[in-house]
Amino acid sequence: MVTLKQLPVEELWGPGHNACAGCGSSIAVKMILKALRGPTVVVSPTGCVEVVSSSYPQTAWGVPWVHVLFENAAAVASGIEAAYKYMVKKGITNEKPDVIVIAGDGGTFDIGLQALSGALERWHDFLYICYDNEAYMNTGIQRSSATPKGAWTTTSPAGKVIPGKPEWKKDLIGIAVAHGIPYAATATIAYWNDLITKVRKALEVEGPTVLHVLAPCPLGWRFDPSKTVEISRLAVQTRYFPLYEVENGVYKLSVKVSRPKPVEEFLRPQRRFRHLFTPENRHIIEEIQKNIDEGWERLLKRCGLKS
């Protein structure tokens, strides 16, 4: 596990970006760039991180960075990786940089999933990182397939017809693992050493790797911006967002939560869930808790652990 003393002093995520106060995605990117091992090219589709980091003519990136369309980040990263592989083979260069995609849930779970699936199937040697703030925050807090059940968004409003988003969240890591890739993992900013360690581990792997990083959004989740890390930690402590890795098909739990807090403690500070605490909607909290409990049991079985 990475320690503070092992982290580079150099900042590759500049302070001149325009991210909101307490932005979980910005914190995640800052940590991810601390894990780099050498020359790196970062690819980002349209999204919060792209918008806040690239106000022309300034940039917050201290590494080569490419902005691409919502739908083709993995395809562009595949082309960059293949081009460098060809140039090394032909003796044009002897340096093959790490290629990393840093994309939001809209550009990963939804619009970019086809390109990601194709890149994993073709076995391109790159790391795909999804910073998940659970909605299309940059364009107006619309629901994505990463938005959790019961959450308010501008396209899943909480009212008499529906009490927030009615569907469950998509399992990104399950989809990635189904491609037979060598490494996939979950992480979040409250457990910074776990996140940075997993980025470095993924970069060392030959072949495609995927990280799913939970990145709380004060604006879209509607909580006090000073509580970003606390909300991130509660996601793990309530088992809402388990931390684990899958290496060559073998599951390993990163943080075992033996005495979980009730999911209410994660939901209550977020005003996107406040309608769930009314008498007519309390049953949805119970459904969410049941889903979390069942998911945790499935994860333990995959990890070869007992409850």
pLDDT tens figures, 104-140 = 999 999 999 999 999 999 999 999 999 999 999 999 9
CA-based max dimension of the chain = 69
**pLDDT classification of 142: cutoffs 50, 70, 90:** very high
Position 208 scores a pLDDT of 98
Q: What percent of the chain has pLDDT over 70?
A: 100
pLDDT (mean) for 32-58: 94
Region 234-243: what's the mean pLDDT? 98
Q: What is the mean pLDDT of residues 165-192?
A: 98
Identify whether the C-beta of residue 167 lies closer than 8 Å to the C-beta of residue 149.
yes
pLDDT at 100: 98
> In the predicted model, what is the mean pLDDT of residues 262-269?
98
Compare 1 and 65 and report the one with higher pLDDT. 65
Radius of gyration of the chain (CA): 19
Region at 140 (left for phi over 0; alpha for psi -120 to 50; beta for the rest): left
Can you say whether residue 171 is alpha, beta or left, with left for phi > 0 and alpha for psi between -120 and 50 degrees? Answer: beta
Domain boundaries, the chain: 14-302
Q: Tell me: pLDDT of 305 over 90.
A: yes
pLDDT of residue 16: 79
How high is the pLDDT of residue 4? 81
Mapping DSSP onto H, E and C, the string for the chain reads CCCHHHCCCCCCECCCCCCCCCCHHHHHHHHHHCCCCCCEEEEEECCHHHHHHCCCCCCCECCCEEEECCCCHHHHHHHHHHHHHHHHHCCCCCCCCEEEEEEECHHHHHCCHHHHHHHHHHCCCCEEEEEECCCECCCCCECCCCCCCCCCECCECECCCCECCCCCCCCHHHHHHCCCCCEEEEEECCCHHHHHHHHHHHHHCCCCEEEEEECCCHHHHCCCHHHHHHHHHHHHHCCCCCCEEEECCEEEECCCCCCCCCCHHHHCCCHHHHHHHCHHHHHHHHHHHHHHHHHHHHHHHHCCCCC
> Residue 7: its pLDDT value, please?
86
Q: What value does the mean pLDDT take over residues 18-22?
A: 95
| Band of residue 40 on the pLDDT scale cut at 50, 70, 90 | very high
Q: Residue 306: its pLDDT value, please? A: 86
Decide: 134 and 155 in contact? Cβ < 8 Å.
Answer: no
CA–CA separation, 107 and 130 (whole Å): 8
Q: Is the pLDDT of residue 57 over 90?
A: no
Domain 14-302 has CATH 3.40.50.970: yes
pLDDT tens digits for range 90-102: 999 999 999 999 9
The mean per-residue pLDDT over the stretch 242-270 comes to 98
pLDDT of residue 15: 83
